[in-house]
C-alpha cells in the first residue's frame, strides 16, 4: 500500500493506492479516514483500490471555504487523470455514495460500474449540526451510554466510528462536508446514469434508512439491490468480507455493452 500527496486544483490530497488489478475507487463517508477501508481492501487484494482523504479530511488540505459536491466530483476526476486512470469502477458509502453519484453524473465516461452503499439520492442532511456538537461534547467521556435508544443514535454512531479510528475528530471537517450537501439531490438526474449499478443497504441502518435504497433502485435504470440482513450503517467496516464478496460478484459480471 502506497500513500501519495497530489496537488489537484490547488489542493493537497492524501491518496492511497493498493494492489495491481482492475482499478476500484473507494469514496468514504462523512468524516471518513483512509484507514476505514483497510478491512475491505484486504478482502479485495486482486483489485487496485484507490482511496483518499477528501479535501478537509485527515491529511488532505482543508479548503479555505466549503466546497460543493460538484466541485468535489471534479477534483476526484482530475485526481484520476493525474494517476493515469481514465476508466474505473466507483464505490461510495454514505456521504461518499452521494459523491460517487455526482462523479458518475458529471464524468460518465470515466465510470464503468457504480456501487452505492448506505446512501441516498437526497435531499438529505446526514447529520445535523446539533449531533456534531453532542458528539464532540461527549466524545471524551469514558462512561458507557446505556440509556434506552442511545445505541443507534447519530452521536453514538459517530462515537463508534471515532473509537474504531474510522472518523476524523476535527469538527470543521463535518461542517464542511455537511455544507457540500446543502440543497443537493441527484433524484431528478438519476435516469441519466447508464452504468450498471449495485445498491447495498443494511436493514438495521438507523442513519440512512433502507427505503432510500429502494428509491435509488427505482430511479436508476440498470440498478440491482442487495439488502444486508442484520447490518447497520457501518457494514462496510463490520462485515468487510461479506461486502467484498458482493462487490466481486457484481464487478466480475461480463459487460453487456450497453451505455445509453
Q: ∠ CA(174), CA(177), CA(178), 5° rounding? A: 80
Q: Does the active-site annotation cover 168?
A: no
83/242 Cα distance (integer angstroms):
29
Contact between 97 and 91 (Cβ < 8 Å): no
* Closest alpha carbon to 49 in 3, 100, 98: 3
Burial class, 171, CB count within 10 angstroms (exposed 0-12 / middle 13-18 / buried 19+):
middle
Query: Which listed residue (16, 60, 94, 168) is catalytic?
Result: 94
Q: In what order do the strands lie in the sheet with 223-228?
A: 2-8, 11-18, 47-53, 22-27, 88-93, 111-117, 196-202, 223-228
39/175 Cα distance (integer angstroms):
27
Catalogue the active-site residues.
Answer: 94
Amino acid at each position: 500500500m502506497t500513500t501519495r500527496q497530489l496537488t489537484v486544483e490547488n489542493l493537497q490530497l492524501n491518496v492511497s493506492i493498493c494492489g495491481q488489478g482492475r482499478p476500484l475507487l473507494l469514496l468514504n463517508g462523512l468524516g471518513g479516514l483512509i484507514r476505514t477501508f483497510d478491512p475491505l481492501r484486504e478482502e479485495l487484494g486482486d483489485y487496485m483500490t484507490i482511496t483518499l482523504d477528501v479535501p478537509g479530511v485527515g491529511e488532505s488540505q482543508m479548503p479555505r471555504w466549503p466546497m460543493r459536491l460538484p466541485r468535489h466530483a471534479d477534483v476526484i476526476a482530475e485526481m484520476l487523470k493525474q494517476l493515469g486512470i481514465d476508466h474505473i469502477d466507483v464505490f461510495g458509502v454514505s456521504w461518499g455514495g452521494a459523491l460517487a453519484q455526482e462523479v458518475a453524473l458529471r464524468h460518465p465516461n470515466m465510470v464503468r460500474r457504480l456501487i452505492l452503499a448506505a446512501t441516498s439520492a437526497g435531499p438529505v442532511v446526514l447529520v445535523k449540526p446539533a449531533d456534531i456538537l453532542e458528539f464532540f461534547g461527549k466524545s471524551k467521556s469514558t462512561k458507557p451510554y446505556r440509556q434506552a435508544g442511545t445505541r443507534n443514535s447519530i452521536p453514538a454512531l459517530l462515537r463508534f466510528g471515532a473509537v474504531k479510528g474510522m472518523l476524523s475528530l476535527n469538527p470543521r471537517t463535518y461542517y464542511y462536508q455537511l455544507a457540500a450537501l446543502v440543497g443537493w439531490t441527484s433524484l431528478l438526474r438519476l435516469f441519466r446514469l447508464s452504468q450498471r449499478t449495485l445498491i447495498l443497504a443494511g436493514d438495521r441502518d438507523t442513519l440512512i434508512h433502507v427505503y432510500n435504497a429502494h428509491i435509488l433502485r427505482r430511479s436508476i435504470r440498470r440498478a440491482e439491490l442487495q439488502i444486508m440482513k442484520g447490518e447497520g450503517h457501518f457494514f462496510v467496516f463490520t462485515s468487510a468480507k461479506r461486502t467484498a464478496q458482493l462487490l466481486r460478484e457484481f464487478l466480475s459480471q461480463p459487460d453487456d455493452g450497453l451505455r445509453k
